Amino acid sequence: MCSNEAHGDERAVAWFSASPCVKDMIPIHDVGCSLRVGREVKSVGRVPQEEALEFTLKDGRVEFTVPRVDGHQMVCVAFA
Domain ranges of the chain: 2-20+27-79
| Whether pLDDT at 80 is above 90 | no
**How many Å apart are CA 2 and CA 40, to the nearest integer?**
25
Counting Cα atoms < 13 Å in the Cβ hemisphere of 75 gives 27
pLDDT of 36-47, one tens digit each?
A: 888 899 999 999
pTM > 0.85: no
Q: Which CATH architecture has domain 2-20+27-79?
A: Sandwich (2.60)
Contact 45, 52 (CB under 8 A): yes
Q: Provide the greatest CA pair distance for the chain.
A: 39
Contact 63, 34 (CB under 8 A): yes
